[in-house]
Amino acid sequence: MSLMNAKQYEESLRKLNFKIYMFGKLVENPVDDPIIRPSMNAVAATYELAHSPEHEDLVTATSHITGKKINRFTHIHHSTEDLVKKSKMGRLLGSLTGCCFQRCVGMDAMNALSMTTYDIDQKYGTQYNKHFLKFLEYVQENDLVCDGAMTDPKGDRGLAPHQQADPDMFMHVVEEREDGIVVRGAKCHQTGAVNSHEIITMPTISMREEDKDYAISFAVPADTEGITYILGRQSCDTRKREEGTMDRGNQIYGGHEALVVFDDVFVPWDRVFMYKEWDFAGQLVEQFASYHRQSYACKAGVGDVLIGATQCIAEYNGAQKASHVKDKIIEMNHLNETLFCGSLACAAEGHKEPSGTYYVNTLLANVCKQNVTRFPYEIARLAQDIAGGLMVTLPSEEDFRSPEVGKWVEKYYKGNADVSTEDRMRILRLIENITLGTAAVGYLTESMHGAGSPQAQRIMISRQVNMNAKKRVAKKLSGIDVDE
Ligand code: SF4
Ligand code: FE
């Protein structure tokens, strides 16, 4: 089955034996849990769109291994057109779900591994690329979701992995067996982990020889024995447990992160993609991060939803004709399209690597992500400016439905006479959700820290610009001897 639909995806998750904790308790049925369900719905949208005649060109691709039609989230990019379609697919899904749809991390991990495993094999004569391609074919054939797990807890940031007081602060090998390895550690902030079939781990930083036990990459089924998920708390998350759904904001979708603990997990050799090749850890980190920095076209998609909601509330408030409101919405659009430009540009300027995989232009991918660390905050600020304070002082849905006080909420929170108070409340809740609630995790803080915090991109930008070429031309044009 190379292309699952949303229902089949949901059923496939039900078969997994996840060990997920939330509020101190084991979650018996994650798929139907009201807090987890919206994040599953968002991943399911990646399956649904693959069957939509309108979007299948973006959301499906042709496997370079089998020649079959597959979901683009399991595809290895084989042209700049593939890369551009990936950017467009991310924006599309963000603009339809209004949240993080989680499946990009696995796609980015697999594309990075398609290159790094090839390069390690070239240098050391190992078999990692063969292992990886076998795994990839399995993922493509079964249309699986993979969690691309990079971020280790890291302990004391001033110390290398081998110097940490607690050796488990970075994922490491604790036992080498004939049939595989046993690993221990954890991966933090794992987007979509509880909606994934497979977990692909990668090192989190560049390493030196002393850290070679930490230079590992592998893939295991998400319900492998020894793996425990502890769900991240999100602002306003328990609203999803309330009877009425209005206060959730987004009625259908959401994203979710988890701490994933690997307590002595066995990995067979054919699922190992890096083992102690410490000199390739930095390359894998950089390649995954660059692809994921491109992936943040998703933020322009979520921005589309926020801008749409802001235009609605301006109209519901009766303020849409005010020139400053119009101008602020133009500014929001300008910033949002600038985000998209970066993602498209790094894709269009991509190139072929020795493995055959197409890789983004890393300078432009870093510029893209640097903008993402800033612009969504400004877009959110403008949305809140136009929405007004009611967005955070609005009574609950229960008060709105109350036989005693509902009539006053209805009466005093009416704006434009043609719009119901309920619709005005609903759109305010959506803006609240994206800028302060559960979806703000993906739209704001993840924009800051996901795929590397802002300083990581600044370092890459400084490394990648050709300063000497710029200086040479400046000197030449001002009549300074260029050879000096
Ligand atoms: Fe994909 Fe964006 Fe979520 Fe990252 S934040 S997994 S790029 S939707
Ligand atoms: Fe992310």
> Which of 96, 146, 295, 360 should be mutated for ligand 1, with most atoms under 8 A from CB?
295
What would the pLDDT profile of 430-476 be if each residue is shown by its tens digit? 999 999 999 999 999 999 999 999 999 999 999 999 999 999 999 99
Q: How confident is the model at residue 158 (pLDDT cuts 50, 70, 90)?
A: very high
Instruction: Provide mean pLDDT across the span 388-399.
Output: 98
Confidence of residue 482 (pLDDT cuts 50, 70, 90): confident
Residue with CA nearest ligand 1 atom 2: 298
In angstroms, the CA 418 to CA 433 distance is: 25
Using the mean position of ligand 2's atoms as its centre, give its distance from the Cα of residue 454 in Å: 13
Find the distance separating the first CA and the last CA of the chain, reported in whole Å.
64
Number of the ligand 1 atom closest to the C-alpha atom of 296: 7
Reported as a single tens digit per residue, the pLDDT across 99-128 is: 999 999 999 999 999 999 999 999 999 999
Measuring from each residue's beta carbon to the nearest atom of ligand 1, which residues come in under 6 Å?
90, 100-102, 104-105, 191, 295-296, 298, 442, 446, 450
CB 300 within 8 A of CB 91: yes
Q: Mean pLDDT for the chain?
A: 97
Whole-model pTM above 0.85? yes
Instruction: Report d(CA 219, CA 435) in Å as an integer.
Output: 34
Mean pLDDT of 71-92: 98
Specify whether 257 is catalytic: yes
Average pLDDT of the segment spanning 236-263:
97
CA distance 3 to 114: 21
Residue 1: band (very low, low, confident or very high) from pLDDT cuts 50, 70, 90: low
Predicted local distance difference test score (pLDDT) of residue 2:
83
Catalytic residue among 77, 189, 197, 292: 292
The single residue of 46, 60, 97, 191 carrying the catalytic annotation is 191
pLDDT recorded at residue 7: 98
Report if residue 382 sits inside a domain.
Answer: yes
Task: Specify whether 99 is catalytic.
Answer: no
> What integer pLDDT is reported at residue 431 of this predicted model?
98
pLDDT tens figures, 345-361:
999 999 999 999 999 99
Burial 102-134 (b: 16+ CB within 10 A, else e): bbbbbbbbbbbbbbbbbbbbeeeebebbebbbe
Decide if pLDDT at 74 tops 90. yes
State mean pLDDT over 136-158: 98
C-alpha triplet 203, 209, 213: angle, nearest 5° = 50
The pLDDT of 311-315, averaged and rounded, is: 98
Q: Is residue 366 part of a domain?
A: yes
Q: Which of 191, 304, 446 is the pocket-test mutation for ligand 1 (most atoms within 8 Å of CB)?
A: 191
Count of domains forming the chain: 1
Structural domain contains residue 238: no
* Residue 337 among the catalytic residues: no
Predicted confidence band of residue 162 (pLDDT cuts 50, 70, 90): very high
- Judged against a pLDDT cut of 70, whether residue 406 lies above it is answered with yes
Residue range 248-255: mean pLDDT, rounded: 98
Q: Which ligand is nearest to the CA of 303?
A: 1
Contact between residue 375 and residue 336 where contact means Cβ atoms under 8 Å apart: yes
Residue 35 lies in a domain: no
398 in any annotated domain: yes
153 CA to middle of ligand 1, Å?
20
**Residue 296: active-site member:** yes
pLDDT digits (tens, 9 = 90+) for 35-63: 999 999 999 999 999 999 999 999 999 99
Residue 484's pLDDT band, with cuts at 50, 70 and 90, is low
Residue 157: pLDDT above 70? yes
State the DSSP H helix or E strand holding residue 386, giving kind and residue range, or none if neither.
Answer: helix 375-387
Residue 191 a catalytic site member: yes
Q: Give mean pLDDT, residues 415-425.
A: 98
Q: Which atom of ligand 1 is nearest to the CA of 255?
A: 3
- CATH classification of the domain holding 409: 1.20.140.10
Q: What is the rounded average pLDDT of the residues 388-394?
A: 97
What pLDDT, in 10s, does the model give residues 264-296? 999 999 999 999 999 999 999 999 999 999 999
Residue 76 forms part of a structural domain: no
Question: Can you tell me which residue has the tokens 């993402």?
Answer: 372
Question: Catalytic residue at 253?
Answer: no
Does 298 fall in a domain? yes
Q: Which domain holds residue 467?
A: 293-472
